[in-house]
């Protein structure tokens, strides 16, 4: 991974930041994408550059701005003169109870979770072909087992799972495309949809009887990017076995 360059979307906070740190620790140079979390992105980038000079850059972009995604990718590639990996991690996640779904919710959830990964991959394809690179999409176990009241999110992630397999065909043989499908890893920041009782119920449904850690996702992302040269079109559930009981 030494000096390989990877763009991670939504890398300023939460799972994205842990993924970026894990790749950086393994020797990669990382480009942190952020939308509104500028302070967090710049702080993380400063931390990584302090550990290894010239190893991190940050790029800002609204993933709903489809025409701007090509510029975002070019900015990321220009940071280190190459692009070896793309991690589509950024995601909108909130409830859309059926009967009250509007166009705004549809555009936002489909845009961040499905359209942006497609157009980012399309913009990055030539750079990734040059480097025999890889794409990793962060999917969700609810892509296959829809979550009640989250219909649009579930549909968007199901589309991302399909896109992962389609891109594996489209971009072969020079670019590998895989997905990581988290279960309960981090609860939402707002706490509105998963109260203590719901969290306990979900944990009790998980065969390993605990929630996961962002490092679990970061390890799977690293594997697909750099340690799986003969693996493409696969989606790995990192969910403690919870998908078995949904």
pLDDT in tens, 85-131: 999 999 999 999 999 999 999 999 999 999 999 999 999 999 999 99
Question: Distance between CA atoms of 56 and 134, rounded to whole angstroms?
Answer: 19
Over 90: is that where the pLDDT of 199 sits?
A: no
Domain that holds residue 199: 5-244
Question: Distance between CA atoms of 132 and 171, rounded to whole angstroms?
Answer: 10
Return the pLDDT at 175.
98
Domain count for the chain, please give it.
Answer: 1
Question: Distance between CA atoms of 124 and 227, rounded to whole angstroms?
Answer: 21
Return the pLDDT at 191.
61
Q: What is the CATH number of the domain that holds 59?
A: 3.40.50.720
The residue among 211, 222, 215 whose CA lies nearest residue 141 is 211
The residue among 146, 84, 89 whose CA lies nearest residue 112 is 89
Question: Distance between CA atoms of 121 and 117, rounded to whole angstroms?
Answer: 6
Mean pLDDT across 5-19 = 97
What percent of the chain has pLDDT above 70? Answer: 99
Question: Catalytic: 223?
Answer: no
Return the pLDDT at 43.
98
Three-state secondary structure along the chain? CCCCEEEECCCCCHHHHHHHHHHHHCCCEEEEEECCCHHHHHHHHHHHHHHCCCCEEEEECCCCCHHHHHHHHHHHHHHHCCCCEEEECCCCCCCECCCCCCHHHHHHHHHHHHHHHHHHHHHHHHHHHHHCCEEEEECCHHHCCCCCCEHHHHHHHHHHHHHHHHHHHHHCCCCEEEEEEECCCCCCCCCCCCCHHHHHHHHHHCCCCCCCCHHHHHHHHHHHHHCCCCCCCCEEEECCCHHHCC
Return the pLDDT at 211.
86
Over 80: is that where the pLDDT of 245 sits?
A: no
φ, ψ at 176 (rounded to 5°) = -95, 145
Q: Which residue has the higher pLDDT, 205 or 230?
A: 230
Give me the catalytic one of 34, 94, 153, 223.
153
pLDDT in tens, 36-80: 999 999 999 999 999 999 999 999 999 999 999 999 999 999 999
pLDDT in tens, 128-154: 999 999 999 999 999 999 999 999 999
pTM over the 0.85 mark: yes
Q: 38 preceded by cis ω (within 30°)? A: no
């Amino acid at each position: 991974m030494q000096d390989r360059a990877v763009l991670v979307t939504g890398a300023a906070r939460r799972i994205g930041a842990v993924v970026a740190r894990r790749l950086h620790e393994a020797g990669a140079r990382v480009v942190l994408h952020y939308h509104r979390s500028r302070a967090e992105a710049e702080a993380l980038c400063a931390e990584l550059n302090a550990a290894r000079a010239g190893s991190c850059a940050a790029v800002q972009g609204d993933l709903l701005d489809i025409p701007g995604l090509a510029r975002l990718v070019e900015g990321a590639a220009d940071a280190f003169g190459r692009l070896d990996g793309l991690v589509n991690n950024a995601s909108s996640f909130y409830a859309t109870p059926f009967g009250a779904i509007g166009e705004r919710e549809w555009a936002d959830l489909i845009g961040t979770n499905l359209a942006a990964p497609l157009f980012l991959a399309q913009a990055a394809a030539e750079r990734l072909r040059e480097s025999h690179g890889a794409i990793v999409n962060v999917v969700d176990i609810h892509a296959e087992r829809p979550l009640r009241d989250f219909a649009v999110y579930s549909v968007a992630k199901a589309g991302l799972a399909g896109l992962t397999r389609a891109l594996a065909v489209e971009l072969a043989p020079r670019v590998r495309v895989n997905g990581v499908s988290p279960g309960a890893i981090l609860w939402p920041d707002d706490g509105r949809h998963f109260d203590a009782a719901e969290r306990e119920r979900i944990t009790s449904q998980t065969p390993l009887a605990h929630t996961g850690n962002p490092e679990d996702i970061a390890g799977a992302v690293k594997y697909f990017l750099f340690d799986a040269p003969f693996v493409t079109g696969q989606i790995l559930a990192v969910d403690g076995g919870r998908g078995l009981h949904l």
